[in-house]
Chains A and B, each alone.
Chain A
Amino acid sequence: MRSVRLQADDSSPVHPYLRLFSGVRAGAMVSHSLALPMICFTTLWALVGVVAPFLVPKGPNRGVIVTSLILTAVCCYLFWLVAILAQANPLFGPQLKNETIWYLRYFWE
């Protein structure tokens, strides 16, 4: 059974949704198409970790809640960042069995 290894290629449009962004260069791929998720998640966790602490009402538990919010933002953001950076420039791709490739070709494209 032959398995095929995916390699990086920068000129084939992939997903129907992505036809707008065809032809982006490999080197610039990191900054360009990582940008949107980067911005989204950074703002999300920044909201949680920086803005929300000011919105917590005053009470006996304010300190605990503020600490929790900041820690949550830091941990979750870090976790997501590691996950996305690990696959931003992959050194190798997934190896699929032939049947899987036929099946996916049929269903996804």
Chain B
Amino acid sequence: MDSLLRGEELCLAQLFLQSGSAYDCISELGELGLVEFRDLNPSVNAFQRKHVNEIKNCEEMERILGELASTLSFCCNHRVSVCLQEQLQRLEVELGEVTRNKEKLQKNLLELREYTHMLRITHSFVQRTSEVSYEEFPFLEKDTVMDYSSMQRLGAKLGFISGLIQRAKIEAFERMLWRVCKGYTILSYAEVDEYLEDPETGEPSKSIVFLISYWGEQIGQKVKKISDCYHCHLYPYPTNNDERNDVVEGLKTRIQDLHTVLHRTEDYLRQVLMKASESVYTWVIQVKKIKAIYYILNLCSLDVTNKCLIAEVWCPVNDIANLRRALEEGSRKSGATVPSFVNRIPTSDTPPSLIRTNKFTSGFQGIVDAYGVGNYREVNPAPFTIITFPFLFAVMFGDLGHGLIMALFAFWMVLYENNRKLKNTRNEIWNTFFEGRYIILMMGLFSIYTGLIYNDCFSKSLNIFGSGWSVKAIFNHYGGFKVSLYQSNLPIIWNLATNRLTFLNSYKMKMSVIIGIIHMSFGVILSTYNHLHFRKKHNLYLVFLPELLFLLCLFGYLVFMIFYKWLVFSAKDSREAPSILIHFINMFLMQGDGVPPLYPGQTGLQIFLVVIAVLSVPVLLLGKPIYLNWLHNGSQRLGMYRGYERVRRNSEEELYLMRANDMEEGSSHNEFLHQAIHTIEYCLGCVSNTASYLRLWALSLAHAQLSDVLWAMVMRVGLRMDTRLGVLFLVPVFSLFAVLTVSILLVMEGLSAFLHALRLHWVEFQNKFYSGTGVKFSPFSFSLLPSSFEHDGLL
């Protein structure tokens, strides 16, 4: 428990690692996750460190592995492979070649297919237009194709350009052709039926086969340039039918060959990848570990003889034996002759804070750490938060039915907490709920309890103990009252009353103030732990005592008055029942004349209390600085003695404390200012924090009203209809009620109450004793390494 209450004791240790076995020793330490390494070369920048080349190699390997993993669709565990780096490089080269080949083949295939389409479609043009005949240009008939020789006889040079163009560009192409060539070209085109892959983007797109017939050499050049502009794929147009058929045949065979080759290439690629996939997961982990170890080696420094590596670590005192054993293991693994050893050194630096938690307490420690990690060995609010946080939540949430649902949900999560699927989802929101499953469980259980006391279950009350109010007496017009024998919660009759809120408000406000003051006093009392532990006894008298007196004399008295009024004043004298608020205000103003006293001797007692409270303020303000100043002046005379004492002390914690003391004395102005700020903060804070606890009342009122409204507006509408139709109508009404209950009352109100309870802890409770400016202990452990692969969703 000491660890959870206060954090573990840490010490600074020096590791002397023999050069040969340094790698293995650090690997062992990484497996165990015991220690945090300190940077011994802080002035060296990242590129000048000793092992920068090794880290570069590791990053290269990581890159290769990343590419590899992205081409894989699955991975599985297999046995470890050796010579990691060479293997990876070879694999990369091979993969690169194969992929490049595959791409080239695919491009070839595309061209051939386009050519085939083009030939087919232009053949259909030619056949189509053979019916029309022009005088000057004898056109093609079925069996005689374009004859260059007959053209030349006419002196006209009819040329053809054919190819493919993307569908999106065809209209612009046509228009450009018309404008440039002014009608000396004829363009016919048709769409290709199937989708062809665009070689640049790899996306399937529609292409159009076109055939341009032109006459004149220059027009031909222009047309060629224009088609280049529009990225057309041009193919040679065959001059006669035989040539066309030959080309088509040739193309067919070539396409078939290419298909086979491609198929084989893909098979080969798949095989290579499958082999790699067996070990890729292990490789990734290995590379991560190697990189981490080299990073740590960079943090160490070489000693004078250049044979030994020195590392400084923060190590928990209880784990020094484990540390020794790990070093021995590492030395043994590397077969070193000289063992590495560890040496504890005294230091005055503040160690980081380590608090060991189990799966139950880690949630609560998390919400405390979210505010701030505690200083080294100061009191940790987490063990108390385990109960007070769900309790304050439940005061605000207080509904039996909702609490039950919440508890069941959390219980389900707890039962299935070892289910891998639940643990490892990527959904951030679910992860947040899952991490806090124990918190939610406690919140639900406490809400059930407070719901029982508030007598509120889905906004209806339960008649467990019978109401203490007699209805017969009301009926007979003079009312009767008896507290029921078993009455231990709010009677059910209040739920039916019209002045329900008047009673509830008074009750809940007083309850909030009582709980708040007790919570804050608890916080102040916890600060004594800190004062005692850090050996600052003067704080006990000069800080804790005035604080406690101030709080209790004023607000503790308020609590006393509340209880007194409850016990002493009853309905008999309800007309003369005093208002506590007025009495409280009068106490401050020291006027007591207007109102009759609550009890004899009240004025005297109140004056006494106010005087004590007012006196404690200057004590709080000036006591500590004056005392420290006096100590400092006194110590200057005794300087020599103190130095001698310091050498004798062998506990480094005391050394640290003494250093801290010395540093404090050095600046008395600072100290005075600090204490003044603390005093003002505390005194004003007492008032404002007490009022802040009224949110317990406000939220519980809001929750009760919301659930009441939901019932009245939704469920009652469904329950009012009593025909057969009503039964059917009730089903969607109930589902609407359920959905709204879960989303508004459970999720929204739950989050809201969670947040407010958290704020009450962080601000009102913790500023009485907690500073939260520490550093968290982050051990070197392989299991905690962040993985860049996880971000890419590859693992």
The chain A residues found within 8 Å of chain B, CB to CB, are 3-15, 17-18, 21, 24, 26, 29-30, 33-34, 36-37, 40-41, 61-64, 66-68, 71-72, 75-76, 78-80, 82-97, 100-102, 104-105, 108-109
Tell me the bound Cα distance from A97 to B486 in angstroms: 26
Q: How far is the CB of B219 from chain A (nearest CB, A)?
A: 94
Tell me the bound Cα distance from A93 to B142 in angstroms: 111
Q: Is the CB of B503 within 8 A of A26?
A: no
Q: Is the CB of A30 within 8 A of B498?
A: no
- Chain A CB within 8 A of B5 CB: yes
Central interface residue in A17, A79, A96, by most chain B CB within 10 Å: A79
Tell me the bound Cα distance from A17 to B464 in angstroms: 13
List, in ascending order, chain A residues with CB within 8 A of B468's CB: 14, 87
- Contacts A36-B486, A94-B493 known; 12 new A-B pairs at CB < 8 A: A6-B479, A7-B571, A8-B479, A15-B482, A18-B485, A37-B487, A63-B5, A79-B395, A83-B511, A87-B468, A87-B507, A95-B498
Tell me the bound Cα distance from A92 to B569 in angstroms: 11
List, in ascending order, chain A residues with CB within 8 A of B450's CB: 79
* Given A78-B518, A83-B453; A67-B1 close (CB under 8 Å): yes
List, in ascending order, chain B residues with CB within 8 A of A62's CB: 1
Tell me the bound Cα distance from A67 to B518 in angstroms: 17
- Chain A CB within 8 A of B45 CB: no
* Given A67-B383, A75-B391, A92-B503; A15-B466 close (CB under 8 Å): yes
Q: Is the CB of B474 within 8 A of A89?
A: no
- Chain A CB within 8 A of B387 CB: yes
Tell me the bound Cα distance from A90 to B466 in angstroms: 17
- Chain A CB within 8 A of B412 CB: no
- Chain A CB within 8 A of B649 CB: no
Tell me the bound Cα distance from A9 to B472 in angstroms: 12
Tell me the bound Cα distance from A55 to B248 in angstroms: 95
Tell me the bound Cα distance from A93 to B388 in angstroms: 33
* Given A9-B478, A67-B1, A71-B388; A15-B563 close (CB under 8 Å): no
Tell me the bound Cα distance from A21 to B5 in angstroms: 51
Q: Is the CB of B477 within 8 A of A89?
A: no
List, in ascending order, chain A residues with CB within 8 A of B502's CB: 92
- Chain A CB within 8 A of B4 CB: yes
Interface string of B481-510 (1 = CB under 8 A from A): 111111111110110111110110011001
Q: Is the CB of A15 within 8 A of B484?
A: yes
Q: Is the CB of B453 within 8 A of A6?
A: no
Q: Is the CB of B482 within 8 A of A85?
A: no
Q: Is the CB of A88 within 8 A of B566?
A: yes
Q: Is the CB of A92 within 8 A of B386?
A: no
Taking a contact as CB atoms closer than 8 A, the residue among B361, B395, B449, B471 that contacts A109 in the complex is B471
Q: Is the CB of A83 within 8 A of B383?
A: no
Q: How far is the CB of B353 from chain A (nearest CB, A)?
A: 18
**Count, chain B residues at interface, CB 8 A:** 68
Leading 10 A-B pairs by shortest Cβ distance: A63-B1, A94-B497, A89-B570, A8-B571, A71-B387, A12-B480, A6-B479, A14-B470, A91-B574, A86-B507
Q: Is the CB of A85 within 8 A of B486?
A: no
28 A-B pairs, CB-CB below 8 angstroms? A4-B474, A7-B571, A9-B481, A18-B484, A26-B570, A26-B572, A33-B483, A33-B485, A40-B488, A63-B383, A67-B384, A71-B387, A79-B391, A82-B510, A83-B488, A83-B507, A83-B511, A88-B566, A88-B567, A91-B571, A92-B499, A93-B469, A94-B469, A94-B494, A95-B499, A104-B493, A105-B472, A105-B475
User: DSSP class of A's interface residues: helix, strand, loop or mixed?
Assistant: helix
- Chain A CB within 8 A of B757 CB: no
Tell me the bound Cα distance from A83 to B569 in angstroms: 16
Taking a contact as CB atoms closer than 8 A, the residue among A6, A17, A84 that contacts B469 in the complex is A6
Interface string of B446-463 (1 = CB under 8 A from A): 000110011000000000
Taking a contact as CB atoms closer than 8 A, the residue among A29, A92, A97 that contacts B498 in the complex is A97
Q: Is the CB of A87 within 8 A of B491?
A: yes
- Chain A CB within 8 A of B636 CB: no
List, in ascending order, chain A residues with CB within 8 A of B272's CB: none
Q: Is the CB of A96 within 8 A of B1?
A: no
List, in ascending order, chain A residues with CB within 8 A of B571's CB: 7-8, 26, 89-93
List, in ascending order, chain B residues with CB within 8 A of A91's CB: 569-571, 574, 577
Q: Is the CB of B510 within 8 A of A86?
A: yes
List, in ascending order, chain B residues with CB within 8 A of A10's CB: 482
Q: Is the CB of B384 within 8 A of A71?
A: yes
Q: Is the CB of A14 within 8 A of B474?
A: no
Closest to A41 in B: B488
Q: Is the CB of B388 within 8 A of A75?
A: yes
Q: Is the CB of B566 within 8 A of A92?
A: no
Q: Is the CB of B485 within 8 A of A36?
A: yes
- Chain A CB within 8 A of B414 CB: no
Taking a contact as CB atoms closer than 8 A, the residue among A67, A72, A105 that contacts B471 in the complex is A105
Closest to A37 in B: B488
Q: How far is the CB of A80 from chain B (nearest CB, A)?
A: 6
Tell me the bound Cα distance from A92 to B518 in angstroms: 28
Q: How far is the CB of B453 from chain A (nearest CB, A)?
A: 5
Q: Is the CB of A3 within 8 A of B498?
A: yes
Tell me the bound Cα distance from A26 to B571 in angstroms: 9
- Chain A CB within 8 A of B320 CB: no
Tell me the bound Cα distance from A61 to B500 in angstroms: 45
Closest to A33 in B: B483
Q: Is the CB of B482 within 8 A of A24?
A: yes
Q: How far is the CB of A81 from chain B (nearest CB, A)?
A: 9
Tell me the bound Cα distance from A108 to B502 in angstroms: 25
List, in ascending order, chain B residues with CB within 8 A of A105's CB: 471-472, 475
List, in ascending order, chain B residues with CB within 8 A of A71's CB: 384, 386-388
Tell me the bound Cα distance from A21 to B167 in angstroms: 99
List, in ascending order, chain B residues with CB within 8 A of A61's CB: 1, 358
* Given A83-B507, A92-B502; A5-B449 close (CB under 8 Å): no
Q: Is the CB of A5 within 8 A of B479?
A: yes
List, in ascending order, chain A residues with CB within 8 A of B384's CB: 67, 71
Q: Is the CB of A94 within 8 A of B496?
A: yes
- Chain A CB within 8 A of B2 CB: yes
Closest to A75 in B: B391
Tell me the bound Cα distance from A80 to B391 in angstroms: 13
